[in-house]
Amino acid sequence: MTLTRTLVIPTTRTNTERLTDRSALTGCPWHDVKAMLRQVGLRPTRQRMALGWILFGKGDRHLTAEMLYEEATRAKVPVSLATIYNTLHQFTEVGLLRQVAVDGSKAYFDTNVTAHHHFFVEGEDQVFDIPDAVVAVGKTPTPPEGFEIARVDVVVRLRRKR
Ligand SMILES: [Zn+2]
């Protein structure tokens, strides 16, 4: 494992307060992962540390549980697919990851939790960001009584031109 990767700490509006304490970050990714986990109230267990390091050490990206499992295996991190699922969902609950619903059969997890939308290439299982968040959502519907809109997710589905 190399320690030269840059760690990108995800931030969201809801997490701003919890993650603004960057003074705890030392510049060393391993320690950053520990600080990040502590800031969201997760105990920095060996497995969370290892998976966090793999997830957040490569910048913004979109991963499925299977993809993370493959990377963990390659990095010689002994972890089961069940643990990967649990960890991904725990990270999502505390706002470190965002789940992108592109396909009914597969959940993608985004290390960039700021507001943005996605392209999905049908049949190729590829997810990537729509740049600049310039997606015209048209007219946002009025939420029913007692509700407010939490977020608008846009997935633009692509296919290769024939
Ligand atoms: Zn994204």
Give the domains, in start order, of the chain with CATH numbers: 3-158 (1.10.10.10)
Question: Is pLDDT larger for residue 19 or for residue 119?
Answer: 119
Q: Rounded to the nearest whole angstrom, what is the distance from the C-alpha of residue 116 to the centroid of ligand 1?
A: 6
Q: Rounded to the nearest whole angstrom, what is the distance from the C-alpha of residue 26 to the centroid of ligand 1?
A: 26
| CA distance readout (Å), 69 to 127, 140, 145 | 18, 38, 42
Q: Rounded to the nearest whole angstrom, what is the distance from the C-alpha of residue 60 to the centroid of ligand 1?
A: 7
Q: Rounded to the nearest whole angstrom, what is the distance from the C-alpha of residue 111 to the centroid of ligand 1?
A: 7
Alpha helices in 94-152 (DSSP H): none
Q: Rounded to the nearest whole angstrom, what is the distance from the C-alpha of residue 142 to the centroid of ligand 1?
A: 26
Q: Rounded to the nearest whole angstrom, what is the distance from the C-alpha of residue 126 to the centroid of ligand 1?
A: 11
Helix%, strand%, coil% for the chain, nearest 5: 35, 15, 50
pLDDT value of position 28: 60
pLDDT value of position 137: 66
- What is the chain's mean pLDDT, rounded? 81
Whether residue 120 is predicted with pLDDT greater than 70 in this model: the reply is: yes
CA distance 66 to 96: 19
Q: Rounded to the nearest whole angstrom, what is the distance from the C-alpha of residue 109 to the centroid of ligand 1?
A: 8
Whether residue 128 is predicted with pLDDT greater than 80 in this model: the reply is: yes
DSSP-derived secondary structure letter, 97: S
- Are 118 and 156 contacting, i.e. CB atoms less than 8 angstroms apart? yes
Q: Rounded to the nearest whole angstrom, what is the distance from the C-alpha of residue 78 to the centroid of ligand 1?
A: 27
pTM: 0.75
Question: Is pLDDT larger for residue 132 or for residue 75?
Answer: 75
CA distance 161 to 79: 40
Q: Rounded to the nearest whole angstrom, what is the distance from the C-alpha of residue 145 to the centroid of ligand 1?
A: 31
* Strand 118-121 relative to strand 155-158, pairing: parallel
Q: Rounded to the nearest whole angstrom, what is the distance from the C-alpha of residue 131 to the centroid of ligand 1?
A: 10
- Are 111 and 56 contacting, i.e. CB atoms less than 8 angstroms apart? yes
Q: Rounded to the nearest whole angstrom, what is the distance from the C-alpha of residue 122 to the centroid of ligand 1?
A: 16
Q: 22: which 2 tokens?
A: 């960057």
Q: Rounded to the nearest whole angstrom, what is the distance from the C-alpha of residue 2 to the centroid of ligand 1?
A: 25
